[in-house]
Structure 1
Amino acid sequence: MRQTLDYLKETPSQTAGPYVHIGLAPGAAGFDIYKQELGKDIAGPNAKGERIRIEGRVIDGMGSPIKDVMLEAWQANAAGIYAHPEHPGAVEDGFRGWGRIITDFNTGDWGFDTIKPGAVTDQNGRTMAPHISLWIVARGINVGLQTRLYFSDEEASNAADPVLNLIEWERRRQTLIAARTEQDGKPVYRFDIKLQGEDETVFFDI
């Protein structure tokens, strides 16, 4: 006989909080419990393409950096191919195309090294500009935020990108463009994520 469990109440929601690092990136929280922490190496040593660094901050509505953020990044390799079990051997050995990034608990700065991805084809056969997908969680964020990072030196590809073109205002599109600079001879892209306020970053409902 089935029983009705109407007396059970919905579990209260709560934000990710700083404890998220203990479970998902324990090394950043000072816990040395894994031989190899999941998600630290995105591209691997054998990946072809241009080696780049991406740096930024996650900024709240008051303009202050948030210091307990975890980001997850997904990207294709330089040929525009994602690492996937259905495509064995399609990417370089060691290329994961996925990683976890933790902000510095003192400054709020985050950054990671990878290779610049190539243009990819979506499920409808449309070419998308090179980009990296980012998912953001932190204290004060009830639902993880999904956004994309595009590259400032891919102007032609960006102009034709079907996702960027869904954003009506040019100024809003610019919140997804990482600015290319150079440090010690290495390309560095700056990408600050603004949660609220003027020039709030575009987030996607996926």
Structure 2
Amino acid sequence: MLMSALETNFGQTPSQTVGPYFAYGLAATQYGYNFNQPFDDRVALDGARGQRIRLVGRVIDGDGKPINDAMVEICQPDGEGHYPTSVEDAKARGFRGFGRMGTGTDAQNRFVFQTVKPGANAAGEAPFVGVIVTMRGMLLHAFTRAYFADEAKANAEDAVLAQVPAERRDTLLAQRSEEGGQVTYTFDIHMQGDKETVFFDV
């Protein structure tokens, strides 16, 4: 009788959110832990094909503050539009195609990836970097894309970007700057608010 009463009086319990353990577990070296991690902020190694760039940004909450324990992962082809097909292929090309970084490992709570500007992987597709964000308070990771603001013609012909409302496409554009020969593309990810980044269902 008591068990029956308990079962009917309690409502649904909240779901388990992810993190912030994920950043420490998957970006261990960056956080100073003494065990290996398979991926880090270095996507392009020696010999990678394409223009060397940095992809830099912050994960920003609804109050406009950078989040210090998010984890950002990126996936992209090299400058020729080629994704690595195996470990051997990645080593031969000097290009890993995948990167991972915890925002808490940077003094400014940024993610900073050393990579190359990707080439288009298919006809009718603009160059882009696939981006995954994992952070506390989220039940599932969020998917978005970083396109390049200086690829206006290719962006105008991209089928996926064309499905995004015109007034929101700028949330998917990484902005170029250059200093001392270093090309940087800045891509801030807004999780909520008026400037919320477009996220994709995949």
With normalisation by structure 1, the TM-score equals 0.84
Paired amino acid for 1:27? T
The aligned residue for residue 184 of structure 1 is 180
Q: Is the contact made by 2:90 and 2:96 (CA closer than 8 Å) also made in structure 1? A: no
Question: Cα RMSD (Å) of the superposition?
Answer: 2.3
1:1-206 to 2 correspondences below 5 Å: 13-34=15-36, 37-40=37-40, 41-85=42-86, 89=89, 92-104=92-104, 107-121=108-122, 126-168=123-165, 170-206=166-202
> In 2, distance between residues paired with 1:15 and 1:52?
34
Q: 1:28 deviation in Å?
A: 2.5
Q: 1:25 deviation in Å?
A: 1.2
Shifted more, 102-111 versus 154-163: the winner is: 102-111
Q: 1:31 deviation in Å?
A: 0.8
C-alpha distance 99-11 of structure 1, shift in aligned 2 (>3 A): farther
Q: Percent identity?
A: 43
Q: Is the contact made by 2:53 and 2:184 (CA closer than 8 Å) also made in structure 1? A: yes
How many residues matched? 190
Structure 2 stretches of 5 or more lacking a match? 1-11
Q: Deviations over 1:147-203 (max 9, x none)?
A: 0000111000000001100112x2211100001011222111111000111121000
> In 1, distance between residues paired with 2:181 and 2:98?
25
> Which of the two has greater helix per residue?
2
Q: Is the contact made by 1:137 and 1:145 (CA closer than 8 Å) also made in structure 2? A: yes
Structure 1 stretches of 5 or more lacking a match? 1-9
With normalisation by structure 2, the TM-score equals 0.86
> In 1, distance between residues paired with 2:137 and 2:187?
21
> In 2, distance between residues paired with 1:160 and 1:104?
37
